[in-house]
Amino acid sequence: MQANDLRARDQIADIVGGRRPALGEILFRGILLLAVTLVLGILIGLLVELVLRSRPSFAANGWSFLWTSTWDPVHEVFGILPFFYGTLLTAVSAMLLATALGVGVALFLVELAPRVLARPVSFMVEMLAAIPSVVYGLWGIFVLAPWLRVYVETPLHDHFGGVPLFSGYPIGIGYLTAIVVLTVMVLPTVAAVSRDVIAAVPQSQREAAFALGATRWEMMRIAVLPFARSGIIGASILGLARGVGETLAVAMVIGASPSITISLFHPGYTMSALIANEFAEATTSLYRSTLIEVGLVLFLVTLLINIVARLLVWKVTGGERAGGVLV
Amino acid sequence: MTAADGRPPLGARSMRRRTVEDRAMRTLIWIAAAVAVLPLLLVLYYVASQGLPALRLSLFTAGPRPVGQAGGGIKPAIVGSMIMVGLGTLIGTPIAVLTGIYVREYASGRAAVVVRFLIDVLAGVPSIIVGLFIYGLVVVPMGNFSAIAGALALAVILIPGVARITDEMLALVPHSVREASYALGVPRWKTVVKVVVPAALNGIVTGVVLSVARIAGEAAPLLFTALGNSVTSTALKQPMDALPLRIYLYASGPYKVWHEQAWAASLVLVGLVLCFALAMRLLFRRPAVS
């Protein structure tokens, strides 16, 4: 790898410097190593902390904690299935929507946009990631939820009420609103990473497609998208990880009602929202420990998703990262 | 590559169909771009139109009043945000920048890949989990919620982003610059500190500012660390309020005054974040290089 050649040339500087390494060099490396150790320590500490503090919960709740549906803090009966379901339903739906939209934006930015539009659109999509979660939540409660209730949920309920997907009573607060808010929040991740992955497709691929007489869309379909595919999948999985971990915006619009239902209008609950809503009020130590175990499950899920996504993106970009500053 | 996907070769389909398909897909892509930009405009519009009427001086000079009393403001939240974000930045930035320097300038081969990967993993940890971590690490041993716990949580969230940006910005400094320095007999560490880092400073500063803007908007990690406070407090060992915490509380409450102030607080927060981002954009042109 090229980076290694460069590193070797750096090391020559050490040798040419002669003698033993200077005191400054040793000190500087010591400080750097200290910082890196701290960062690794945070990560290990995080895992250890969560595992240790969730042990009482694990001892009391056992494995059935993962697949039972009763959440009754008063009698200390805990099952997280509805929360797991809510997290998965909202995050996966948001990922699918954001991928469709995000790949469109990425193709627009790299392949179609006139120069005057590319920069501002790129900037605006990245800015979506800069809006704080609570502001999305506020907007979700007071603007989006009422709008969706009147213009989307009610008509769907009136005309297609028989379809299980639209069977719930349209109240605005629930899975649908959470999915829309989450889609907006996940979009910058998917769009920015896809953009960089698509930009990394060699120009010769495009030229080859054009030389075969391809139209512009055919060029994207046969030259760009297959080349960028695993990177785009990586981008959407990164979006999934973000969606799974997103907390307050979802907590504010989802309705805090644990339920396993296919109806999009029904209020629901997610693991992150559960922790946010109940941790400060958890009175018994078992209750608290259980919420920390929910956190541990959430952590492991995001960890797994992130690892898969990073590996996919790295494969395409050759070890370099993709995405903007904020992603 | 095309033969494998089972579709007929390009020329086998009529030119008209191909042109129509091309038009249709290009239109769809334009629509996708338009739809993607829409939410930002909508959020900004509502934050401005709902927030502006509620924006008055007392918002910045008074604390929350009991429900039913007119007036009141969010001073504790503004002061608290400034203290905790400032402190979090002071703690997190040096660690992050040094880690970035290590990864780009010293770590060789496998070590660089591993550390880079772990930084990415840390970046992917949900912020509420960071809150739980600091709760166990600081709040439980101390016995109460505190500003210092909040600042530490924010620092943990700041670190991966800044480390990553530092790493990427250092990569943009041409290697010949380093070699020129070595040729003058300057040792490696001095080359990094006096030549390489200054050359990448613009980008690093941009990364720090954007990350600061990001942690300023985080409420989830503060829920069980700083907790919130309705009186203005500067004591680091006591609970402290923050803008996003206040917005979360007020948005979830039933009172109209709370909602108005939540919009106003959002306007302050979003205005701040966007000003930071825009300033960085204009000062240093394109910050993210991939």
For A103, A122, A266, B281, the CA distances from A109, given in Å and listed in that order, are 10, 7, 37, 18
CA–CA gap between residue A302 and residue A116 (Å, rounded): 38
CA–CA gap between residue A12 and residue B134 (Å, rounded): 43
Residues of A in contact with B170 (CB under 8 A): none
A255-284 pLDDT, tens digit per residue, is 999 989 888 899 999 999 999 999 988 889
The reported pLDDT for the residue numbered A276 is 95
Residues of B in contact with A279 (CB under 8 A): 132, 135, 223-224
Provide the chain A residues 249-288 that lie in CB contact (below 8 A) with chain B.
252, 272, 275-276, 279-280
| Together in a domain, B67 and B50 | no
| Together in a domain, B40 and B167 | no
Closest Cα in chain A to B215: A132
The reported pLDDT for the residue numbered A321 is 59
Give yes or no for a contact between A145 and A265, defined as CB atoms under 8 angstroms apart. no
Q: Is there a contact between B46 and A143 if contact means CB atoms under 8 Å apart?
A: yes
Residue B147 lies in a domain: yes
Residues of B in contact with A238 (CB under 8 A): 124
Provide the chain A residues 65-104 that lie in CB contact (below 8 A) with chain B.
100-104
| Tokens describing residue A116 | 């005057």
CA–CA gap between residue B1 and residue A327 (Å, rounded): 32
Give yes or no for a contact between B224 and B139, defined as CB atoms under 8 angstroms apart. yes
| Together in a domain, B128 and B190 | yes
Q: Examine the pLDDT at A205 and tell me if it is beyond 70.
A: yes
The reported pLDDT for the residue numbered B173 is 92
Do you know the residue count of chain B? 290
Q: Is there a contact between A42 and B122 if contact means CB atoms under 8 Å apart?
A: yes
Exposure string of A54-74, with b = 16+ CB inside 10 Å and e = fewer, is bebbeeebeeebeebeebebe
| Together in a domain, A184 and A278 | yes
> What domain range is B94 assigned to?
58-284
Q: How many domains does chain A have?
A: 2
| Together in a domain, B50 and B149 | no
Q: How many CA atoms lie within 13 A of B187 on its CB side?
A: 15
B131 closest CA partner among B83, B84, B82:
B84
| Together in a domain, A155 and A230 | yes
Q: What is the pTM of this model?
A: 0.92
A4-59 pLDDT, tens digit per residue, is 677 777 877 776 656 567 788 899 999 999 999 999 999 999 999 999 999 999 99
Residues of A in contact with B113 (CB under 8 A): 319
Q: Examine the pLDDT at B77 and tell me if it is beyond 90.
A: yes
Is B30 an 8 Å CB contact of chain A?
yes
Q: Is there a contact between A4 and B217 if contact means CB atoms under 8 Å apart?
A: no
Residue A215 lies in a domain: yes
| Together in a domain, B77 and B20 | no
Residue A57 lies in a domain: no
Q: Is there a contact between A139 and B159 if contact means CB atoms under 8 Å apart?
A: no
| Together in a domain, A37 and A171 | no
Closest Cα in chain A to B181: A13
| Together in a domain, B136 and B273 | yes
Give the CA-trace dihedral at B261, B263, B264, B267, to 10 degrees.
Answer: 160
Interface test with B, best of A20, A29, A32, A189 (most B CBs within 10 A): A32
The reported pLDDT for the residue numbered A107 is 96
| Together in a domain, A264 and A147 | yes
B18 closest CA partner among A160, A3, A216:
A216
How close B73 gets to chain A, by Cα (Å)?
18
The reported pLDDT for the residue numbered B288 is 44
Give yes or no for a contact between B93 and B162, defined as CB atoms under 8 angstroms apart. yes
Summarize the confidence of residues A158-176 as an average pLDDT. Answer: 87
Residues of A in contact with B91 (CB under 8 A): none
Q: Is there a contact between B193 and A28 if contact means CB atoms under 8 Å apart?
A: yes
Q: Is there a contact between A127 and B274 if contact means CB atoms under 8 Å apart?
A: yes
| Together in a domain, B22 and B93 | no
Q: Please state the φ and ψ torsions of residue A78, each to the nearest 5 degrees.
A: -125, 125
> What domain range is A304 assigned to?
62-317
Q: Residue A228 sits in a domain of what CATH number?
A: 1.10.3720.10
Residue A323 lies in a domain: no
A278-319 pLDDT, tens digit per residue, is 998 888 999 999 999 999 999 999 999 988 888 887 776 665
Residue A327 lies in a domain: no
| Together in a domain, B25 and B94 | no
Residue B290 lies in a domain: no
| Together in a domain, B72 and B95 | yes
| Together in a domain, B168 and B29 | no
Give yes or no for a contact between A309 and B123, defined as CB atoms under 8 angstroms apart. no
Residue B9 lies in a domain: no
Q: Is there a contact between A32 and B102 if contact means CB atoms under 8 Å apart?
A: yes
Is A225 an 8 Å CB contact of chain B?
no
Task: Please tell me which of the candidates A138, A192, A321 has its beta carbon nearest to residue B251.
Answer: A138
B157 closest CA partner among B86, B209, B89:
B89
| Together in a domain, A265 and A312 | yes
What 8-state DSSP symbol labels residue A2? H
| Tokens describing residue B131 | 């809150």
Residue B212 lies in a domain: yes
| Together in a domain, B156 and B43 | no
Provide the chain B residues 140-159 that lie in CB contact (below 8 A) with chain A.
156, 159
The reported pLDDT for the residue numbered A4 is 66
CA–CA gap between residue A250 and residue A20 (Å, rounded): 58
Place of tokens 């899920």: A301
Residue A141 lies in a domain: yes
DSSP string of chain B, one letter each residue: -TGGGTPPPGGGS-HHHHHHHHHHHHHHHHHHHHHHHHHHHHHHHHHHHHHHHH--THHHH-----TTSS----HHHHHHHHHHHHHHHHHHHHHHHHHHHIIIII--HHHHHHHHHHHHHHHTS-HHHHHHHHIIIIIHHHSS--HHHHHHHHHHHHHHHHHHHHHHHHHTS-HHHHHHHHHTT--HHHHIIIIIHHHHHHHHHHHHHHHHHHHHT--GGGTTTTB--SS----TTS-B--HHHHHHHHHHSS-HHHHHHHHHHHHHHHHHHHHHHHHHHHHHS-----
Give yes or no for a contact between B127 and A10, defined as CB atoms under 8 angstroms apart. no
Let me know if A81 is exposed, middle or buried by CB neighbors in 10 A (0-12, 13-18, 19+). Answer: middle
| Together in a domain, A84 and A231 | yes
Q: How many domains does chain B have?
A: 2
| Together in a domain, A105 and A128 | yes
| Tokens describing residue A130 | 């800069």
| Together in a domain, A22 and A98 | no
Q: Is there a contact between A32 and B42 if contact means CB atoms under 8 Å apart?
A: no
List, in sequence order, every residue forming a beta bridge with A78; answer none if it has no partner: A71
Let me know if A202 is exposed, middle or buried by CB neighbors in 10 A (0-12, 13-18, 19+). Answer: exposed
| Together in a domain, B152 and B20 | no
The reported pLDDT for the residue numbered B15 is 87
Q: What percent of chain A has pLDDT over 90?
A: 66
- Interface predicted TM-score of the whole assembly (ipTM), two decimals: 0.91
| Together in a domain, A43 and A94 | no
Q: pLDDT averaged over chain A?
A: 89
| Together in a domain, A122 and A251 | yes
Is B255 an 8 Å CB contact of chain A?
no
Is B289 an 8 Å CB contact of chain A?
no
Residue A325 lies in a domain: no
Residue B4 lies in a domain: no
B123 closest CA partner among B99, B149, B150:
B99
Residue B3 lies in a domain: no
Is B1 an 8 Å CB contact of chain A?
yes
| Tokens describing residue B212 | 């600061």
Give yes or no for a contact between B203 and B284, defined as CB atoms under 8 angstroms apart. yes
Q: pLDDT averaged over chain B?
A: 90
The reported pLDDT for the residue numbered B290 is 35
Residue A31 lies in a domain: yes
Give yes or no for a contact between B184 and B210, defined as CB atoms under 8 angstroms apart. no
How close B62 gets to chain A, by Cα (Å)?
22
Chain centroid to Cα B285, Å, comes to 18
Q: Which residue among B54, B74, B101 closes a domain? A: B54
Provide the chain B residues 178-197 that lie in CB contact (below 8 A) with chain A.
178-179, 182, 185, 187-193
| Together in a domain, A98 and A23 | no
Q: Is there a contact between B168 and A9 if contact means CB atoms under 8 Å apart?
A: no
Residues of A in contact with B262 (CB under 8 A): 138
| Together in a domain, A83 and A191 | yes
